[in-house]
């Protein structure tokens, strides 16, 4: 097959797994190379995840991989790449262009990433290098005890040579590729520095014999320490993807399908939409679905962060990955494969960890000039010391120390490792962060706007009272049921529940229309039925006097009132009213108090009447609320709030909240709500608990703090270390130790985020 002729549709998104990157300079070089490929719109490379995400217009994957290989790296497609359904050409093209094609297996991307990390963190080169290096350090050890343990020069050379050119060959290869690309990286610095120390030692040995003072230990120790640092770094990076590993482990491999009355055990890949599944006690729910028979409790802790088992009954939603406890559940499948909630969670966390935070752009600019500047400082150090002291040997060692102390790897890891650790720990506790920008922005939130129904209240209203005006209460319920029988609105569900309880049968209506923010209308025989709020009655110019006293009393009590009106040949009139009551969530008031403690103002926005809004606002401790706001007006209100308060988040769960979620600086959606809300929001709360809003802000603040700490230390290492090395206050061995420690300390500091717990 000619892979060069394979072209993808416009606006492709490809994710490549990259092998061979070692520092921030590698990231900068690879992004520059990818941007030069004709048709590439954008390319973002992440050092911590070792992935490149490319947006392009009709660029074949083979061309992207060829560009990566030309830059000196290996690449193959991420197995989780979202390929067109039934199209394997992308995979085949990438395999054809990849030097490691034979090793690729189509398993979830997290496992592939872990295999790559394990391969890069092999311990034997470190151990062997250390074994060969220890004898070279004997003279230094002997000096402490007044002993001369100097080895003959030829023995030192024999020990240092395999370290330099075999175990250290990776630095030469990567450094050469960087030079060919007209750039530099950490490997180039290590290769030049250790080669200089090794070459000086060989020169002195040949000129003055094998018993003169040599510097083989400097080159050997530096390589050993850098190898150790990279091994520790790789081990630490494995822990940053631990959350994804745990989520991926939730995937069931088999499912029990009931077909024609027979239960069959089949691979989960064979499950289809609409299938009936049997979930026995102890089984993991294979895919998403709805309970059609049975009662039980499910452990959803790894999905939602909820530690207590969640009761499930007929009609409740089941999420793949949860563990059934005591009862047998019969479920109907509603989502499979990449459409399940678990796949969405994993994909969102992967996307967030692969994306770059805005602050990373500053680091990228620094990294682009970092290695050339270090090399320039090294040359200046060499010439300056040689000029003033006349000792070329010491001048060379000081120049080597400058090259070795440089820490571009720490700069490259400072931000992405913090993002990975932060999004991972957030996901474990039920906070799904879609991208790095949302995580970074959330730390600066100054105001949070809450929707009322389903966010601050339970979202399960019930009919408290029915008031007939020109017909009986039962007839009012019957007409309301007829209009609402196909709606998924919470008030409609309350109407249908009351109808079931009173055995009311709806009539067949037609031409049903939803009137956003106002209500619903439908045709019945020769009449038009309207069910909605007072705003709808005003728009229809209907006299509301007959029901005004009842409506005022109910709204004063904090209830939501729906007006039922009929239009026929004799005109349009109110025939009855329904009053609905909802329960404030138990955690809502605590959530508002926690936000207040964080210095964040809470605001409530609702389409409900002023009385109901005021009651809920007072119950949860919100001072500012906006009632009777139409869905289309929520977005403009959010815009105004942003002008007043600064960074504003919007929390909602319904379809009508989507515009406001998009208008806010950060949209926060409840996973229990509409899918469109979750797709619009930057953060999704897997539990419908408003207390998680404060937790999301806190984890963002903690993560941003780690980013700043890591960048501070990464820059400090260089700002302090480079001058010390240039002025001859650091020898290459100490410089190598500092460079190795810098990367490990940055990653380890990021991993401290794993200690975070909600409520902290």
The pLDDT, as a whole number, for residue 152 is 83
The pLDDT, as a whole number, for residue 597 is 94
Check whether 268 has a pLDDT greater than 50: yes
Q: For the residues of 17-39, what is the DSSP string, one character each?
A: EEES--SHHHHHHHHHHHHTSTT
Return the ∠ at Cα 615 (arms to 609 and 621), rounded to 5°: 125
The pLDDT, as a whole number, for residue 631 is 74
Check whether 677 has a pLDDT greater than 80: no
744: nearest Cα among 708, 714, 720? 714
The pLDDT, as a whole number, for residue 111 is 43
Token duo for residue 287: 């895919």
Token duo for residue 184: 């530099």
Long-range contacts of 650-653 (CB under 8 A, 24+ apart): 650/448, 650/449, 650/451, 650/605, 651/448, 651/449, 651/450, 651/451, 651/455, 651/690, 651/693, 652/450, 652/451, 652/455, 652/677, 653/451, 653/454, 653/455, 653/459, 653/677, 653/688
Q: Are 357 and 371 a contacting pair, CB within 8 Å?
A: no
Separation in Å, CA 721 to CA 200, 371, 397 = 23, 15, 15
Q: Are 246 and 427 a contacting pair, CB within 8 Å?
A: no
Q: For the residues of 119-131, what is the DSSP string, one character each?
A: HHT-SHHHHHHHH
The pLDDT, as a whole number, for residue 241 is 62
Domains in the chain with CATH codes: 3-106 (3.30.70.100), 124-242+356-420+702-753 (no CATH), 253-339 (2.70.150.10), 431-457+584-686 (3.40.50.1000), 462-581 (3.40.1110.10)
Indicate which residues carry an active-site annotation: 451
More confident residue, 254 or 233: 254
The pLDDT, as a whole number, for residue 55 is 86
For 540-549, 669-678, 694-703, 725-734, which range has the lowest pLDDT when averaged over its residues? 669-678
More confident residue, 251 or 735: 251
The pLDDT, as a whole number, for residue 249 is 75
Cα 401 to its chain centre, rounded Å, is: 39
Check whether 678 has a pLDDT greater than 70: no
More confident residue, 450 or 634: 450
The pLDDT, as a whole number, for residue 307 is 65
Q: What is the pTM of this model?
A: 0.67
More confident residue, 82 or 753: 753
Q: What is the mean pLDDT of residues 59-88?
A: 71
The pLDDT, as a whole number, for residue 109 is 45
How, if at all, do strands 310-312 and 329-335 pair?
unpaired
753: nearest Cα among 687, 684, 704? 704
Q: What is the mean pLDDT of residues 128-145?
A: 78
Percent of the chain with pLDDT over 90: 24
More confident residue, 411 or 169: 169
The pLDDT, as a whole number, for residue 695 is 94
Element (DSSP H or E) covering residue 405:
helix 392-405
More confident residue, 678 or 251: 251
- Half-sphere exposure in the Cβ direction for 70 (13 Å, CA): 14
The pLDDT, as a whole number, for residue 105 is 33
For 225-229, 504-508, 653-657, which range has the lowest pLDDT when averaged over its residues? 653-657
For 100-104, 490-494, 525-529, 625-629, which range has the lowest pLDDT when averaged over its residues? 100-104
The pLDDT, as a whole number, for residue 626 is 92
For 94-98, 386-390, 460-464, 690-694, which range has the lowest pLDDT when averaged over its residues? 94-98
Q: For the residues of 275-336, what is the DSSP string, one character each?
A: -EEEE-TTPBP-SEEEEEE--EEEE-HHHH---S-EEE-TT-EE-TT-EE-SS-EEEEEEE-
Report pLDDT digits (tens) over 594-616: 999 999 999 999 888 888 888 89
Residues 6+ apart with CB under 8 A from 221: 133, 136, 137, 732, 733, 736
Q: What is the mean pLDDT of residues 15-32?
A: 81
The pLDDT, as a whole number, for residue 149 is 65
Helix axes 691-726, 392-405, angle to 10 degrees: 170
Percent of the chain with pLDDT over 70: 82
CA 43/CA 241 separation, integer angstroms: 22
Within 10 A of 386 (CB to CB), how many other CB atoms are there?
A: 17
Q: Are 251 and 337 a contacting pair, CB within 8 Å?
A: no
| Average pLDDT value over all residues in the chain | 81
Helix axes 392-405, 732-751, angle to 10 degrees: 10
Residues 6+ apart with CB under 8 A from 679: none
Cα 26 to its chain centre, rounded Å, is: 23
Check whether 101 has a pLDDT greater than 80: no
CA 404/CA 398 separation, integer angstroms: 10
289: nearest Cα among 326, 314, 253? 314
Res. 83 pLDDT band, cuts 50 70 90: very low
The pLDDT, as a whole number, for residue 590 is 94
The pLDDT, as a whole number, for residue 537 is 93
Q: Are 298 and 309 a contacting pair, CB within 8 Å?
A: yes
Check whether 102 has a pLDDT greater than 50: no
CA 469/CA 240 separation, integer angstroms: 64
Q: Which residue has the tokens 């009173």?
A: 502
Classify the phi-psi angles of 223: left when phi > 0, otherwise alpha if psi is within -120 to 50, otherwise beta: alpha
Q: Are 391 and 416 a contacting pair, CB within 8 Å?
A: no
Q: Which alpha helices (H) appear in 181-215, and where do they start and end?
A: 186-208
Q: What is the largest CA-CA distance in the chain?
A: 119
The pLDDT, as a whole number, for residue 330 is 93
Within 10 A of 707 (CB to CB), how many other CB atoms are there?
A: 26
In three-state secondary structure terms, 730 is coil
More confident residue, 320 or 367: 320
Q: What is the mean pLDDT of residues 150-157?
A: 83
Report pLDDT digits (tens) over 333-344: 999 888 888 887
Separation in Å, CA 438 to CA 222, 351, 357, 358, 510 = 40, 12, 9, 10, 44
Total residue length of the chain: 760
Q: What is the mean pLDDT of residues 464-469?
A: 93
Q: Are 619 and 581 a contacting pair, CB within 8 Å?
A: no
């Amino acid at each position: 097959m000619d892979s060069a002729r394979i072209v993808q549709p416009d606006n492709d998104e490809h994710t490549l797994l990259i092998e061979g990157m070692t520092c921030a300079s590698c990231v900068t070089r690879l992004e520059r190379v990818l941007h030069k490929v004709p048709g590439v719109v954008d390319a973002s490379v992440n050092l911590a995840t070792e992935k490149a995400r490319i947006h392009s217009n009709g660029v074949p994957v083979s061309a992207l991989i060829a560009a990566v290989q030309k830059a000196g790296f290996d690449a193959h497609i991420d197995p989780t790449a979202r390929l067109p359904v039934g199209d394997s050409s992308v995979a085949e093209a990438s395999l054809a262009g990849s030097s490691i094609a034979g090793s690729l297996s189509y398993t979830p991307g997290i496992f592939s990433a872990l295999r790559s990390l394990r391969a890069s963190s092999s311990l034997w080169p470190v151990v062997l290098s250390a074994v060969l290096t220890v004898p070279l350090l004997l003279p230094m050890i002997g000096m402490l005890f007044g002993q001369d343990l100097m080895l003959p020069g030829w023995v030192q050379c024999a020990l240092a040579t395999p370290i330099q050119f075999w175990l250290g060959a990776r630095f030469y290869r990567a450094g050469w590729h960087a030079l060919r690309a007209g750039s530099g990286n950490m490997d180039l610095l290590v290769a030049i520095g250790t080669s200089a120390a090794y070459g000086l030692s060989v020169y002195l040995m040949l000129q003055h014999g094998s018993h003169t003072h040599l510097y083989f230990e400097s080159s050997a120790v530096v390589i050993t320490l850098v190898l150790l640092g990279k091994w520790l770094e790789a081990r630490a990076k494995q822990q940053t993807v631990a959350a994804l590993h745990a989520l991926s482990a939730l995937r069931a491999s088999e499912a029990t399908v009931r077909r024609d009355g027979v239960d069959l055990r089949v691979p989960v890949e064979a499950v289809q939409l609409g299938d009936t599944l049997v979930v026995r006690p102890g089984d993991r729910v294979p895919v998403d679905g709805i309970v059609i028979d049975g009662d039980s409790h499910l452990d959803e802790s790894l999905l939602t962060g909820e530690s207590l088992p969640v009761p499930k009954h007929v009609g409740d939603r089941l999420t793949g990955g949860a563990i059934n406890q005591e009862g047998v559940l019969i479920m109907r499948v509603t989502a499979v494969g990449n459409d399940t909630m678990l796949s969405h969670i994993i994909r969102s966390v992967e996307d967030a960890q692969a994306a770059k935070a805005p602050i990373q752009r500053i680091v990228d600019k620094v990294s682009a000039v970092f290695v050339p500047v270090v090399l320039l400082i090294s040359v200046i150090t060499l010439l300056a010391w040689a000029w003033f002291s006349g000792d070329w040997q010491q001048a060379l060692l000081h120049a080597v120390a400058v090259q070795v102390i440089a820490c571009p790897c720490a700069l490259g890891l400072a931000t992405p490792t913090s993002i990975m650790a932060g999004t991972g720990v957030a996901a474990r506790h039920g906070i799904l962060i879609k991208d790095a920008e949302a995580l970074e922005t959330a730390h600066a939130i100054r105001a949070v706007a809450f929707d009322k129904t389903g966010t601050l209240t339970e979202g399960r209203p019930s009919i408290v009272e029915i008031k007939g005006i020109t017909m009986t209460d039962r007839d009012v319920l019957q007409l309301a049921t007829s209009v609402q029988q196909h709606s998924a609105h919470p008030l409609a569900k309350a109407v249908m529940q009351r109808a079931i309880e009173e055995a009311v049968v709806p009539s067949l209506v037609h031409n049903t229309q939803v009137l956003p923010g106002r209500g619903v209308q439908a045709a019945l025989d020769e009449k038009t039925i309207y069910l909605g709020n007072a705003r709808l009655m005003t728009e229809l110019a209907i006299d509301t006097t007959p029901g005004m006293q009842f409506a005022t009393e109910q709204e004063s009590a904090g209830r939501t009132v729906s007006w039922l009106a009929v239009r026929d040949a004799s005109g349009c009139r109110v025939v009855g009213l329904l009053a609905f009551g909802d329960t404030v969530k138990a955690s809502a008031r605590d959530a508002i108090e926690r936000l207040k403690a964080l210095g964040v103002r809470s605001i409530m926005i609702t389409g409900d009447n002023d009385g109901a809004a005021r009651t809920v606002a007072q119950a949860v401790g919100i001072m500012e609320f906006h009632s009777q706001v139409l869905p289309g007006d929520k977005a403009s209100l959010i815009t105004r709030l942003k002008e007043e308060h600064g960074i504003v988040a919007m929390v909602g769960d319904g379809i009508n909240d989507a515009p406001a979620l998009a208008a806010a600086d950060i949209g926060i959606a409840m996973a229990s709500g509409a899918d469109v809300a979750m797709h619009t929001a930057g953060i999704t709360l897997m539990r419908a608990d408003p207390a998680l809003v404060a937790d999301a802000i806190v984890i963002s603040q903690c993560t941003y703090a780690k980013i700043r700490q890591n960048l501070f230390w990464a820059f400090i290492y260089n700002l302090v270390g480079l001058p010390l090395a240039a002025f001859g206050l650091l020898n290459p061995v100490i410089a190598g130790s500092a460079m190795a420690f810098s990367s490990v300390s940055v990653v380890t500091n990021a991993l401290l985020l794993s200690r975070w717990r909600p409520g902290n």
